Structures are given as C-alpha cells and as structure tokens.
Amino acid sequence: MDIEFITTYYSYFLEGAKITLMISLFGVIFGTFLGIIVCLLKISNIKIFEIVSSAYIEIIRGTPLLLQLYIVYYGLPMALPFELSRMTLGTIAVFLNSSAYIAEIIRAGINSIDKGQKEAAKSLGMSNKLSMRYVILPQAFKNVLPALGNEFITLIKESAIVSVVGIHDIMYNADTLRGITYKPFMPLVYAALIYFIMTFTLSKAIGKIEGSMKKSD
C-alpha cells in the first residue's frame, strides 16, 4: 500500500465519497417518494393511471441508466427556463431510475399484506384512501425496508456512472488522480476499497435492522 500516495491525495477520495453518498441518499429518498406515487397509480382502479405508470416503469427498467443520465443531463436544461447544477441533474437521473424499481418493491410489499387487513379497515368504516395510508402502507414499508436498504447499496455502486458527465464522485476523482500521478492502477484500487467499505458497512447495518425487525415480529 502506497502510504505517501494516500496521505497526499486522500482529500480527493473523501470529497468523492461525500458526493457519491449524497447522490445515492437523495436518489433513494426522492426515488421512494416518486416510487410510492407510481406504485399507487399502478394499483389504482383508474385505467389511464395504470397504463401511464406501467409504461413509466417498463421504459425506465428497459433502458440503461447511462442513456437516462444523458437524456436528463442534456435534455432537461433545454426544457427549463433556469439552470441546474451537474450534481442536481445527476441526482435527478439517479432517482428517476431508482423510482421505477422502488415502485415495484413497494407494490410487492402491498401485495404481501393479508387481504383481511383491508377488510378489517373497511369494517371500521375507513375509506380505501385511509386504509391505504394508515393500515396497508405502514405494514408494507416494514416488509420492504430491507429491500429499500439494498436499493441504497445498489445506487452507491451504480451512481459511479455520473462521473461521465463531470460530477466529482469517487470514480471521477480516481480518474483525475490517474492523470495527475501517471499511476493508472493505484487510484482504482483505493476507489474500489472505498466502495467496498461503504457497501459492506451498509449491508451489515441493514442486516442488523432486519434482525431487530424479525425479533419484534
């Protein structure tokens, strides 16, 4: 391990890790909000909402994240009367991509709830909207929380794609160091180590949360 290299350039990796975590965190947060909306539209009884939400999910899941990133990065500024930063555009692309997968995760969670729960809510005089809000969704979220955590881990790795549009995440800064130091391999090793530390730590934390949830059950 090249101690001199890491002591000289550690700030590049720290800054890159911060950007990566921010994009991934905001991606999963906003992706969850949008995913809930898309999911509720898909399971609604209104045909047009079901068709639009299903088409959105299939298009997002059926096209590469890199393509979506380019469309958002170059296309969205043309449609807006104001400028957005590279970081914001990259985050938008990431959470749009994530929302389609989260919508299906939440839909699976809702489908896993016993139908008797909804019937019990109806017998108490609750409307479909109220039973979904206070009975079904809270239980569904509890069931899919580990899957949402895994989506966060996936985003940390997949967000490396934003480096191609100049966002200074871990991969972008690692490539910058490859050019500065003329060391093509070492920066990649440290980048891989940082990714591993972040994802391994998160997977262990999710495992503990899942274990505590099983105990509470």
Q: How far apart are CA 2 and CA 183, in angstroms?
A: 11
pLDDT tens-digit readout, 76-122? 999 888 899 999 999 999 999 999 999 999 998 888 887 777 778 77
DSSP state of 104: H
pLDDT exceeds cutoff 80 at 147? yes
Q: Which of 8-17, 83-92, 110-119, 194-203 has the lowest mean pLDDT?
A: 110-119
Tell me the chain's radius of gyration from C-alpha atoms. Answer: 21
The two tokens of residue 32 are: 């969850």
What length is written for the chain?
217
Q: What is the pLDDT of residues 109-138, one digit of tens each?
A: 888 887 777 778 777 777 777 887 778 888
Q: Per-residue b/e over 102-125, b at no fewer than 16 CB within 10 Å?
A: bbbbbbebbeebeeeebeebeeee
Taking CA atoms, 104 is separated from 84, 117, 171, in Å, by 29, 21, 29
Instruction: Summarize pLDDT for 27-50 with one digit per residue, the tens.
Output: 999 999 999 999 999 988 889 999
What are the domain boundaries of the chain?
A: 3-216
- φ/ψ of residue 32, rounded to 5: -70, -45
Q: Indicate the fold that domain 3-216 takes in CATH.
A: MetI-like fold (1.10.3720)
pLDDT at position 7: 85
Q: Say how far apart CA 173 and CA 156 lie, in whole Å.
A: 15
Please tell me the predicted confidence (pLDDT) of residue 214: 67
**Buried b / exposed e along 190-209 (16+ C-beta atoms within 10 A):** bbeebbeebeeebeeebeee
CA distances from 64 to 135, 167, 182, 198 (A): 36, 18, 32, 24
Q: Looking at residue 162, what DSSP letter applies?
A: G
How far apart (Å, rounded) are the C-alpha atoms in residues 137 and 63?
Answer: 29
Share of the chain above pLDDT 70, in %: 97
- Residue 121 has a pLDDT of 75
DSSP state of 4: H
Mean pLDDT across the stretch 176-184? Answer: 91
CB atoms within 10 A of CB 156: 23
Label residue 165 by pLDDT band (50, 70, 90).
Answer: very high
